[in-house]
Amino acid sequence: MDTQAGDKPELDEAVLGARFAAGDLAAFETLFRQYQRPVYAWIVRIVRNPAAAEDLTVETFWRIWRSRRRFDSSRPFGAWARRVATHAAIDHLKTARAEVQLPAVLPSPDAADAAERREIRDAVAGAFRSLPARLQAVATLALIEELPYEEISAATGHPIGTIKTRVFRAVRLLRKKLSKLGIRP
């Protein structure tokens, strides 16, 4: 490894992961600094609330530290952290029913005025919030964030077929709830 004077050589992630799994606090701090922002960004995509995402990021890394002995250092730390973050976000959605931010302007050719558009947007957001947390999480990632099923599968630890089924169920429930409100999806 060629380093210049004063430069620290970059630690191999597998070595860092092994040290972390063994309980090395310095290795954990290094991993925390490397993955804090990506984990936060991932969580905010699911819960749609920056303040809650900050708290959940801390919770995620607390969970990671507590379960460090289960970490397989031959696998990428980032993927494992994302999976832990996904579960923390789903747990939050189950209890908090976080507000889902939808675009300010929804495509709605029948809506004649801003008040009607807002009413429809609020109804859609309410229907979305009423989904079970697991369906809400995958629907947010698939329908709002437009992430590929493979990425959602890797983050949740569920097969792609399960992700597709959950998105399908979420869409079906949303259509049913919206049609009861007189809104044609």
CATH of the domain at 176: 1.10.10.10
CATH of the domain at 79: 1.10.1740.10
Per-residue pLDDT of the chain (185 residues; tens, 9 = 90+): 344 444 444 568 889 999 999 999 999 999 999 999 999 999 999 998 899 999 999 999 999 999 999 999 888 999 999 999 999 999 998 887 545 555 555 555 544 567 777 887 888 888 888 889 889 899 888 888 888 999 899 888 899 999 999 999 999 998 898 888 887 76
Task: Give the domain range for residue 38.
Answer: 13-96
Three-state secondary structure of 19-47: HHHCCCHHHHHHHHHHHHHHHHHHHHHHH
In a domain, 66, yes or no: yes
Q: What pLDDT does 107 receive? A: 57
| Listed residue (158, 157, 160, 136) closest to 148, CA to CA | 160
CA 18 to CA 141: how far, in whole Å?
31
Residue with tokens 């049609």: 179
Residues 88 and 148 in one domain: no
Domain count, the chain: 2
Residues 128 and 58 in one domain: no
**Do residues 41 and 57 lie in contact, with contact meaning Cβ atoms separated by under 8 Å?**
no
In a domain, 49, yes or no: yes
In a domain, 101, yes or no: no
The CA R_g of the chain, rounded to the nearest whole Å, is 20
The structure's pTM equals: 0.65
In a domain, 1, yes or no: no
CA 32 to CA 102: how far, in whole Å?
31
Residues 33 and 85 in one domain: yes
DSSP 77: H
